Structures are given as structure tokens and as C-alpha cells.
Structure 1
Amino acid sequence: MNRSLSLSTTTVDRLVLGFIGLLAALFYAAIYRYAINVPVVDDLLYIDSIRRITTPGTGFAEQMRVLVEQHNDHRILLSRLLVLTDYWLEGQVNYRTLTLAGSLSVAGIGWQLYQIFRQAGLSRWLVLPFALVLFQPSYQEDVWGVLCLLQHTVTLWLTIIVFRLLARPEPLAQAGALALGGLVLYSNSNGLFMWVAAVGLLLLMERWRWALAWGLGGVVLIGLYFGVDYTFVSKNSLAVAAEHPGWVVKSVLSAMGGAAYFDGRKWLLVPMLWAVMGLGILVLLVITISWIRALFGSKKVLSASLVPFLGIAFVLACSTGASAITRSDGGLMLPDRYQLFCVAYLLVVYGLLLLQLPQRWETTVGLVGVGFTSWFWLNAWLYYGPLLSEHYDAKVAEAMSLKHYHYSIISQTFGLDRDWQQRWETAMNRGIYQVPDLPEIRSVEAAMKTVPTQDSITRFITRTERLGFLNNDALFLQQDTLPTPRFLYIRSATDWYLLPAQPLPKPILKPWLPNRGAKSIVVPVMLKPGTYRLGWLRQMPAGWIPTLTEQALIVSNKPQTNKATQ
């Protein structure tokens, strides 16, 4: 029964669509402003893939092998195809183009969810929580990091389409779901759980032939996935998870409730661990009860609108469990690059509640959803909004390192591998990747050629910390009283390196207060040996002004001897 009231003509509907348009416009304006053609960490690996695929004389079989080869514990066919397409169109891999194009999948997710609600006959205003969750920056690592964007966000969008097609009875829709499911399977290992969910849902809908087709197809495709040149990278973590099963449970619940995290700030006026775990338990209960109801309820329970939410809920829950088993360390499992899945739980739970609770609960659930997600949207922009400019400056610093040294000193240590470094330089020399001609780069290079202002008073706090994900020591620089500049830098007699200046502390509740202080990070092992003096760059009306202190950093050929001197 259609529960909408003049969906296409009411003033409320027009206001809702206009408001969603404003949310999307703000979101995409930020992406357009801060997207930059600079790779970070694993983004760099795409360049070598394209280099091997486009090397003259490479046969078709080898090209296909590179497209589907393993990346960590995943195969990322779709993202490599998208990067290759961009290379063919532009003559280089342009990470800004990939960010702008790939981020359209966020709108695609919103459109699919909107269509599901329209199919269920729900009022348009009930779609507002979807827009408030999607068009905000808390999962920025999944939007501005190309590998995360193409591997997580794009495949989440395609997975929703798979389940929507799966819910339709037409043979063409079923065939389309099966074909698209194969692509998703080889584009993110979460596709393994999508395959299991698809078979289960088809059985519940009594579509026996298609369930058999998915089952047989899964045996073949999943067998090839693991059977051809596959190494389980995270196998050692299984023993750790077996020793600490409580870690896994805590990690699953923390990921399910991770949308309430906000970097440890007490937005809910309760200890953050309680807020995260409480939301995680609620999410788990809703998903579990929904699946139990689908398994043991009548056939009428499983509507075409409900199928996509049940499918996505299963994929998210299983993916979270797999991540917990391979990454649990006893803490909250909330790495930035998985934050998209944390907010996706909000979308799923809201949809499951609206589609299953009695109609009399519709307005209550909708109002609670709008209130919660409005609070979520506002706090996300208050906290993460100011980080967008920092993210941009960090990539400018990356670009400077790539331009002058062909490796990064901030985010990765690929440059330590001579073979990999040679392949990277070959790719750059072939123009597969070209450092963008940014105004900041030109201005900074000009400023570094001038005589800097000398400062004999300012001293930076320096500390060394071992970073497991880099497997190297990192040197942290911090200056608490310095009015925040755009960049820090270190300079020897022959070399200089640019570092992003990250402001501290962050006045979240009062964003109009000026930030004071600056911090940054450098991996000393990536620096050329020498004595580097610490300085900073500030953008003034008259231009960029470099300032150099008397404090120095000594870098030798042995990383353990690196130290700061007065």
C-alpha cells in the first residue's frame, strides 16, 4: 500500500529535495576544492600496476593477471580498471579526476536508497537521514583517498545495486545481478560475503534456479579468487584472535557503533566507550532480529524493499567480523579508512526499522532519525571540516617530496625498496604520473630560494615513536605557542623537505577561536643524511615568508642515531 501523500506535488517534498540538494552541493564543493592529484600510501601502487600493464610488449594474459592480482588480502579489479581508464583518457593517472568521479558513488548510494523508499511507498522526508549521513566529511579518508574511495565507497554502491536487482523477478535483472556480483567479488573481498548473502536471500525468496546459479558461480569464482596466486597475508593474526576472543567482540561492537566516536569527544555527555558500545549493541540487535524475522517469518515479510537492507547488513557485519579477526588489538576498531562502514550501519539500521516496524511508528522513527543524523552532520562538519585544509596541505607536502625526491617522507616507505623505487621512477619518467603544477608548490619553491628570517628563540618539542604500520621510527615535531603557519620544513646545506603544519589544539565547540600551535611528522630514515635546521612557512599578504630556527635535526645513515639538537 502506498503510504505517501502527493509525493511529487507537496511543498514539503520540494523543500526536502531542495535541502538534500544543498547538503550535496556543500559536500561536493568541499571535494572539488580540496581534491588534489597526489597519491598517498597505497594509492602509489596503482602507478606500478599501470606501468606494467602499459609496458610495450606486455601480452593480454599478463595484463589481465596484473588487473586481478592480489593487493593485501583483496583483489581490486574494478579500481584498477577505473585507474587504467583515466590513464587512457588523460595520458596520465590523475588522482584528482579519480576522486571527483569516484565520489559520485556517494550520490549513487543516496539515489539507490531513495529509490528503495519510494518503492516502499514511504514519504520523501524520511530520506533526510540518508542524506545527512552521506553528505558529511567524517569518512573523509574514504573519499579523498583514491584506493579507499574506489575499493570501499564505489563497491558499496554497486553492492546495493546487486541486491536491488536480486529482489526483482525478471530474468534480465537476475542475470545483471549475477554479472555485477562477479565484478564486485573481484573488487573488494567484502564481495565474498555479498555472494553468501545473495544465495541465502534467493533461497528465502524461493528462486531456486537462481540460487543454484549463484551457488555454482560462487564455487567457480571464489575458487579462482583463492586458488590462483593467492597468499593469505593476515594469517598470523588468526592466532592472536584465538588467544584474545574478547578483542574480536569488542572490535565488532566498536565498529558497529563507530559513528558515535568523533575522536573521543563527549558529544553524548557520556564516556565515549559507553556511547560507542551502546550504539554497537543496538545495531547488532536490529540486524540480528531482522535476519531472524526473515529466516523464520512468512514469505510476505521479505519485501523487495527489505532485501537490499538485509543484504548490506549481512555484508557489513561479516566484513566487520573478518576485519576484527585480522586487525584486533584490544582497542576500538575505528581506523579512518573503515569509517565509511561505521556510518553505513546507520543507513542500514534506519532502513531496517522503517521497513519492518508497524506504520504507526513511521513518524517517530523518522523524527528520531532526522534528529540524530542532524546532530551527527553538524558535529561531523565542526570536527572534520577544519581538517580538510590540513589534508590538502599534507598532500602539497607529499607533492613536493615526489617532485624533488620521487618518494614521500610522510606517509610511506616504499622508497626504501630499491627495486620498487626504480619502478616508480620509471613510471614517473614515462609520465604515467605527473606532479601537479599547484600555486602552492610554485610559491613554496620560490620562497625557499630566498634568505629566511632567523629566529633564535623558538624551540620545537621533538619525540621519536615507533609506528607499526610503517615499521619504522617517526619523528614528531611540535610547537605549542607558535601561531599556526601553513607548513613546517627542515633544511640542510643541500636539501630541504616540506612538512604540513597541523594546528593544535582544535577548538571544536568554538570554531571561531584562532588555532595556536603546530605539529608534524617525518620519517627520518627517508631523509638524506645531514644536519637539518627546523623552520616554518607562513603565507602573508606580501607573499610566503620562510623562518628558520637554530634548532637542528641530525640524520645519519643509521636511523637509531637520529636526534634533535639545540
Structure 2
Amino acid sequence: MKLVSIANPQRFMSSRLRTLASVLIAIPILCFCVLLLIYVVDVPWIDDIDAFLSFIIGYIDAPTLGEKLDWLIRPNNEHRILMGKLITLAMYKLTGIVSYRWLIFAAFAFLLGLLVLFYRIFRSMKLPLLAFVPVVFLLLQPQYYLTSMWAITAMQHQVVIMMSFVTIYLLASDEQNRFGAALGVQVLTSLSMSNGLFGWVAGAVVLALQRQWIRLGIWLLLGVGTIVFYFHDFPDGQGNESSVSFFLKYPYLVFLGFFTFTGGLFDFFSRADILWRSVLPTLAGFVIILTMLGLLWRMNEPRLGRRIGAYESSNRATRALWKRRYFFTGCYAFLMVNAVIVAFLRPRFGYEVMLISNYMIYPAVLVILIYLNILSERQTELTLNRWVGFGLLISLVIWSNWYVVQLPKIAYRKHQMLTYAFNQKHNKTGLGPSWGSSFLALAERTMNETIRRGIYAYPEAYYTPYESQLVLSQQMKPDTSLHINVLGGGYSYIAETNYNALPQPIDKAAIVIQSAQRTYLFPSELPYTFINYYLNRPIRTIQAEIINPTVAPGHYRIGILSPLDGKNPIRFSRQTVTVPTAIEDSKR
């Protein structure tokens, strides 16, 4: 479509184009909703157990108001998650249960709130609706599915980004009655994730640009107090001191990691080796940061040069422009502090962390801000047309790419989570904790207690019709025609049936390992590989990775679960594996 005169609403905003823009905006919203409805499962993963289920038990059993407040604000791992706990508590009070699906849906509401906030900024520019379409496609795409589909990360990143931007929006209005609201939102944000503390820096930048010195003093005083309170009873052993050693040894990795992270939206070669995979995001990061710096200079040079133009006395359009400028500047400050912290603290876990799905909402939001900022600072109609056309092209390419690339991973993760829920239910481990870890007892106690009280229940899955048979199948004789190849050891074994060993294609299936006391399932990934998933190839082989640290030490025979095999859904071979007492985790 050729964009003409987009800056002229009389010529551009026909009813047909408004309808087209509305349809285009609805597409990513509906697709994202369907994605969550289909693939989000009511199963906790690692920190979810302690953060929500353990919390609700502790809160219910706390005898005093002071102890209940303590359960709300006490740290979980590296963060306090007050807003997530308040939402969990509200869910429990209203329904009597804790559902991880509904926690993720609640976090999605904050993501939609962020979209609404972006629309408010956009609407003040008086531009046709079509120019807003790239924002929706860039925000509602599944690159960051490990944020949007995992309860703890959804309740942290999505919630805190939205609340931090609301705080900056309130401050950008430069109105006395909104300053108090901004303080309240910022304190709540600070206690909802450590990233929320960066809002104090962003807010200070906005207030300094506005030369609101009294408000800035109040802001800094309350900010320091909040930060001191946030860290006063943190658990020891966070391990961040090793990041200093890593930086001193590999400063170039931290420097490059900053740009790789900020350009992460353009991680188009996720299957490549990390060296080649990171080239495009790193180059994109350089372009993004240079563009952002240029915009920051253009917006704030009049203030820094003391040519205070007439923000206070100009017309309405100029006042709206300066509000947007304060908003963009504050949001950039928030995101840049976050990027610096990630680049400094995380590369020690491996450079791949710079492009991990958990964090990729931040580069997406950064690109959205830059796009809106360019529209806000538009100079000519021709320039605006080009940027909107470019934004439409890039956003559609990115949105389409990430749906194609991530959908098989998302489908497999659902299969994986449901399978591991069986292991947790019957063997104490499966949903995160390793055998013998200190977290094992807490996870077992928490899951058992919430199930006993009716607060949580494991969802039904593909193995549910065979669950009792799996648990009680120790006496089942081996099938001499079934041969399973086993490779590896140490951290994991790879178990796979012979090629075309099954009489019919499989869908959801698993490798089964069984001792005299325990039965574990491990999900078959073959139906969810990129090529098999999209070509819908008939799969007659089961392959799975047996994660040894999640298994109790012992000697296990190996079998398969194939629900589509109506005659013999459960079969065991003569092959065995041994999980030793001490696991050498070679991958960590």
C-alpha cells in the first residue's frame, strides 16, 4: 500500500483506511489472546511454587496483620514481587484457588495497559490510526514468550514496565496533583521487582529536565528510603559479586552485551552458533542506541541550552510535544539502566543470556519508543510517510518471523510442562527442583499442602487416562520387539526408539523410565521440531532427554508412552539406565 499524505487527516483518514487500520490492530491482539488461551497451562515452574503457592499458604496461616504484611513484601530470590502477590491474594479471596493460567492472563492485562498508554501518547500527535499499527505488531509478538507465558516473569517484567511507564507519564504531565500519584505508583512498582527501582532514576531525570527542584528533592529522598528498605533483609549469596570478576576479565563481552541486548528484537538467526547469532542484534543495537541518542539531543537541547522556548506559555500542541519529550526521555532512562544492569550481571551465565526470551520484551519496547518518538518529532510530510511505511514493513516482518520461529517452541513447552507435572506429582521433582536440593522439600511440601486445601490442582493431560497404569506398571513384562537407543550420561541421557518403530504416527508421547519405586516421564520433542511441526510429518519415533538431576538415584528400565496406540500405549524395553547419586552437571 502506498502511503500518501499521512500527515493530512482530511486527505488520509477516510472511513476505509480507518477500518483497515482497526482490522490490522485487531489481528495481533486477537492472535496473542488465542496464543495464551491455547498454550498457557496451569502448571508452576521453579520460582512459581515459592512465589505464589508458598506465599498464599504462609499468608493464610499468618496469625497477625504484621506477619501477613511480611509475607507480602518479603523477597523471593532476587526480587520482591508485591503486585504479583496482591493479584494472587485477590484471586484466592475471590475464587478460593490459585491458577497460574489466570495469573498469566492478569499479567497480560498489564501488557494491554502498556499498549493503551502508548496509544494515549500516539493520540496526542493527531496522526491517522494507521500510523499506530506498527506499535501493536511490535509489542504483541511471541519472541518473549518466556515472559508472557511464565507466571513469575509475567508478573515481574510486564507488570513493572507498564507501572514504570505510568509513573513517567504522570511525571511528564508536570502537574502538581499527578506528582503524588506518581510517587505512590513508583513505590508500589519498586516493591514489585528490582527493575522497578530504575524508575527512581528515570523520574529524577524527568523532574530535573522540568526544573522542578522541590519535587526532585522529595523524589530522591523517598527513592533512597525505598531502595534502602528494598535491600535491607535480602538473602545472602545472590552471586552478583562474581559479575565484577567477569567484567574485569572480559570487559569487551559486557560492552558488546549491552548492544546485543538492546538489539535483541532482530535476533533472526536463533538456531545459529551464538557468535554468528549475535552479529545482527549487536549491529542493530548500535543503530538503535545512536538513533536514541540523536533523538534525546533533539528533544532536550533546547532545555540544556536554556532556550526554554515556551513550554509553559505556548499553544496546546507545543505543550503536548514537551510532555511527550519528557515521557520519551524518562522511558529511555529506565530502559538504559536496565540494559546496563543486564549486560553487567548476566554474561557470566553465558553470552546466550543476552538474547534469552525472558528479557526480549525490553528491546521490543525500546524500538516502539523510538518509532513513536520519531513520529512525535516529525518535520515534513514526506519524512513521516517514509517512517510509517518503514515501521509497517519492519513490524510485520518481525511479527511474522517470531510467530513462525517460536510457535513450535511454545507448543513443545506446553507438552513439556504437562509432562513434568506428572513427575512432580508422583516423584517430588519435575517442576524445577533437582533431586537432593534444598528447594526439593519446600516444593513438595507446598504442592502437597495446596492440593490438600483445594487451592491448587494439577491439570489433566495426555497421560491422564493412563496415569494409574503408569504408576502401577512395575510388573509389566518387557516387549522384546521394542528397542530403545540410549546415549549420554552425566547431566542427561538421550533415549530414542528405532526409526519407524511405532505402528502409527505419534502426537504427544514420552519416554518412560521406571524403577521399583518410581516412574518418570520425559516428553518427546520430535513432533515439535521446526520442520516436523510445519510440514506435519508423520512421526513414528519417540525421542526424549532424560534429565538426570531431576531423577532420584537408582536403576531404571526404559519404555514409551504413546497414547495414540490404542492396543499398547505403554511398553517397556529391556534397555536400562542408571542415575548415580552424584550428578556431574557438565552443562552448568
TM-score (ref. length: structure 1)? 0.88
Runs of 5+ in structure 2 lacking a partner? 1-5, 312-317
Name the CA shift for 1:507/1:439 in 2 (closer, same or farther; >3 Å). Answer: closer
Name the CA shift for 1:363/1:464 in 2 (closer, same or farther; >3 Å). Answer: farther
Matching residue's letter, 2:335: L
The answer (yes or no) to whether the contact 1:505–1:515 under 8 Å persists in 2 is no
Measured in 1, the distance between the counterparts of 2:298 and 2:235 equals: 38
**Aligned residue for 1:319?**
338
1:387 to 409, 412, 427: 409
Per-residue CA distance 1:166-209 (angstroms, 9 max, x = gap): 12133222221111011111112222221111111122123333
Per-residue CA distance 1:198-240 (angstroms, 9 max, x = gap): 1111221233332222122112212222334464722222222
Three-state SS of the structure 2 residue aligned to 1:110 is helix
Superposed counterparts of 1:409-488, under 5 Å: 411-413=432-434, 416-417=437-438, 419-421=441-443, 423-424=445-446, 427-428=449-450, 430-431=452-453, 433-445=455-467, 448=470, 454=479, 456=481, 458-464=483-489, 473-477=491-495, 481=499, 485-488=507-510
1:91 to 77, 89, 96: 96
- 300-309 or 127-136, larger mean C-alpha shift: 300-309
The answer (yes or no) to whether the contact 1:67–1:77 under 8 Å persists in 2 is yes
| Residues 1:138 and 2:138 aligned together | no
Per-residue CA distance 1:276-303 (angstroms, 9 max, x = gap): 1111111111222233334433446962
Name the CA shift for 1:94/1:286 in 2 (closer, same or farther; >3 Å). Answer: same
**Aligned residue for 1:545?**
569
| Residues 1:114 and 2:119 aligned together | yes
Three-state SS of the structure 2 residue aligned to 1:157 is helix
**Aligned residue for 1:44?**
49
Measured in 2, the distance between the counterparts of 1:432 and 1:222 equals: 37
The answer (yes or no) to whether the contact 1:484–1:503 under 8 Å persists in 2 is no
**Aligned residue for 1:397?**
419
2:34 to 21, 25, 29: 29
Per the TM alignment, residue 416 of structure 1 is displaced from its structure 2 partner at its CA by: 2.7
Per-residue CA distance 1:230-256 (angstroms, 9 max, x = gap): 647222222221222111112111111
Matching residue's letter, 1:514: R
Normalized per residue, which structure has more strand? 1
Per-residue CA distance 1:307-356 (angstroms, 9 max, x = gap): 33322222122111111211113624112211222322221222222222
The answer (yes or no) to whether the contact 2:137–2:399 under 8 Å persists in 1 is yes
| Residues 1:254 and 2:260 aligned together | yes
Three-state SS of the structure 1 residue aligned to 2:144 is coil
Matching residue's letter, 1:492: S
Measured in 2, the distance between the counterparts of 1:251 and 1:221 equals: 29
Per-residue CA distance 1:496-552 (angstroms, 9 max, x = gap): 112221127834699225275654334324323433222332232848822333321
The answer (yes or no) to whether the contact 1:534–1:549 under 8 Å persists in 2 is yes
2:389 to 348, 367, 374: 367
The answer (yes or no) to whether the contact 2:205–2:333 under 8 Å persists in 1 is no
| Residues 1:20 and 2:45 aligned together | no
The answer (yes or no) to whether the contact 1:480–1:504 under 8 Å persists in 2 is no
Per-residue CA distance 1:409-458 (angstroms, 9 max, x = gap): x6332763265256425633543652334153422415636768836454
Three-state SS of the structure 1 residue aligned to 2:487 is strand
- 435-444 or 412-421, larger mean C-alpha shift: 412-421
Name the CA shift for 1:24/1:379 in 2 (closer, same or farther; >3 Å). Answer: same
| Residues 1:308 and 2:312 aligned together | no
| Residues 1:530 and 2:554 aligned together | yes
Name the CA shift for 1:429/1:506 in 2 (closer, same or farther; >3 Å). Answer: closer
Per-residue CA distance 1:97-133 (angstroms, 9 max, x = gap): 1112221222222221112111121221111111112
The answer (yes or no) to whether the contact 2:79–2:192 under 8 Å persists in 1 is yes
Matching residue's letter, 2:410: L
Give the total of aligned pairs.
Answer: 549
**Aligned residue for 2:315?**
none
Determine what percentage of the aligned residue pairs are the same residue. Answer: 21
Three-state SS of the structure 1 residue aligned to 2:143 is coil
The answer (yes or no) to whether the contact 2:190–2:196 under 8 Å persists in 1 is yes
Measured in 1, the distance between the counterparts of 2:577 and 2:160 equals: 44
Q: Over aligned residues, Cα RMSD in angstroms?
A: 3.1
Matching residue's letter, 1:506: T
Three-state SS of the structure 2 residue aligned to 1:549 is strand
Three-state SS of the structure 2 residue aligned to 1:139 is helix
Measured in 1, the distance between the counterparts of 2:384 and 2:567 equals: 57
Runs of 5+ in structure 1 lacking a partner? 466-472
Per the TM alignment, residue 265 of structure 1 is displaced from its structure 2 partner at its CA by: 4.8
2:205 to 200, 222, 228: 200
Measured in 2, the distance between the counterparts of 1:264 and 1:486 equals: 25
Matching residue's letter, 1:445: E
Measured in 1, the distance between the counterparts of 2:81 and 2:116 equals: 25
| Residues 1:497 and 2:525 aligned together | no
Matching residue's letter, 1:34: Y
Per-residue CA distance 1:54-84 (angstroms, 9 max, x = gap): 2152x22222223222233322211122122
The answer (yes or no) to whether the contact 2:42–2:459 under 8 Å persists in 1 is no
Per the TM alignment, residue 140 of structure 1 is displaced from its structure 2 partner at its CA by: 0.7
Superposed counterparts of 1:551-562, under 5 Å: 551-559=575-583
Measured in 1, the distance between the counterparts of 2:544 and 2:269 equals: 19
Name the CA shift for 1:39/1:540 in 2 (closer, same or farther; >3 Å). Answer: same
Higher radius of gyration, 1 or 2: 2
Superposed counterparts of 1:241-280, under 5 Å: 241-265=247-271, 272-280=277-285
Superposed counterparts of 1:178-193, under 5 Å: 178-193=183-198
Measured in 2, the distance between the counterparts of 1:273 and 1:494 equals: 46
Measured in 1, the distance between the counterparts of 2:518 and 2:528 equals: 31
- 454-463 or 202-211, larger mean C-alpha shift: 454-463
Measured in 1, the distance between the counterparts of 2:283 and 2:584 equals: 44
Name the CA shift for 1:223/1:292 in 2 (closer, same or farther; >3 Å). Answer: farther
The answer (yes or no) to whether the contact 1:452–1:545 under 8 Å persists in 2 is no
2:174 to 152, 169, 187: 169
Per the TM alignment, residue 484 of structure 1 is displaced from its structure 2 partner at its CA by: 5.5
Name the CA shift for 1:181/1:423 in 2 (closer, same or farther; >3 Å). Answer: same
**Aligned residue for 1:345?**
366
Three-state SS of the structure 2 residue aligned to 1:463 is strand
Matching residue's letter, 1:319: N
Per the TM alignment, residue 393 of structure 1 is displaced from its structure 2 partner at its CA by: 1.1
